[in-house]
Amino acid sequence: MTSPKLKLAVFGHPIAHSLSPRIHGMFADALGMEVDYARIDCPSGRLAATLGQFVDDGGTGCNLTVPLKAEGLRLVSSSSQAAREAGACNTLVRQGRRWHAENTDGAGLVADLARLGLDPAGRRVLIVGAGGAVAGVVGPLLDRNPARLCVVNRDGEKAEQLIQRFERPGVEMDAAALADGPRTGGFDLLIQGTSLGHQGECPPIDPGWMAADAVGYDLNYGEAFEPFRAWCEQAGLACHSGLGMLIEQAALAFELFTGTRPETASVHEQLAARISASAR
């Protein structure tokens, strides 16, 4: 007798562009699992009702994307430390009659950095941006014990408030307004965490803040990555998009949904080729 098909979904608004169904489908196919993973359009303020219908239809797990990550955390009965620190969740798992919230974004980023040979341990990390995307990755980055982590943001006070939420002994942490820049430079890992790429823009980053062998990483991918990629090319920095982070955070979510951790190497290869082809 075959196992019942798992009913999963990603909720967001807009949602038609999401690669999550394709990624989770690839994981399921590789593992011989039956998974029904749908895109569900859900504007802000409608998540509770939409989740209720999803459960009535047999749903047992879902991912959340913009603009629902903070709203989701307010609706659950329990949550992980990563979700609480971030103030947002991207994964909900049904436990009995209740929802449990997780945030796999930061762990997904750390996993992809390790895949790229960029383990944050001992590195001097500069993060640009202080919004929800950055809040989701700061904790796991700090757990890797970087030598220093600095957040710069257009609103320096928001950057300061963000780092005050995350205390890790032994890690030097500071914040600054983007216009002023960090008090000292020499950063060897630059993480671009703003949404400006979606408007075809890159934040005003001073290449002088970076070490000669620094590497850039954008939490965005696809067209939204292109402005930062162009900046890195002009500044002489190697760089990577957030596609790998998307895949790795999905693998962690898939494990929460199914109890099985999927292999990701082939998914990286196939989706990178697809994104590259669509950009031509």
For the chain of 280 residues, list the mean pLDDT of each consecutive stretch of 10.
Answer: 78 93 97 96 97 96 94 96 94 96 97 97 97 93 96 97 88 95 96 95 97 97 94 97 97 97 95 66
pLDDT of residue 274: 73
Of 5, 7, 69, 158, which one is the catalytic site residue? Answer: 69
In a domain, 231, yes or no: yes
Q: How many domains does the chain have?
A: 2
Tell me, yes or no, whether 146 and 213 share the same domain: yes
pLDDT of residue 68: 95
Q: How far is the C-alpha of 114 from the C-alpha of 265, rounded, in Å?
A: 13
CB-CB contact of 178 with 127 (8 Å): no
pLDDT of residue 273: 79
Q: What is the pLDDT of residues 79-102, one digit of tens each?
A: 999 999 999 999 999 999 999 999
Contacting residues for 149 by C-beta, under 8 A, at least 6 apart: 125, 127, 138, 141, 142, 163, 171, 172, 173
Helix axes 105-115, 243-258, angle to 10 degrees: 120
pLDDT of residue 280: 45
Is 69 marked active-site? yes
Tell me, yes or no, whether 89 and 116 share the same domain: no
pLDDT of residue 1: 41
Tell me, yes or no, whether 140 and 235 share the same domain: yes
Coil, helix or strand at residue 63:
strand
In a domain, 1, yes or no: no
Q: Determine the structural domain holding residue 190 and report its residue range.
A: 106-241
Tell me, yes or no, whether 95 and 115 share the same domain: no
Tell me, yes or no, whether 44 and 97 share the same domain: yes
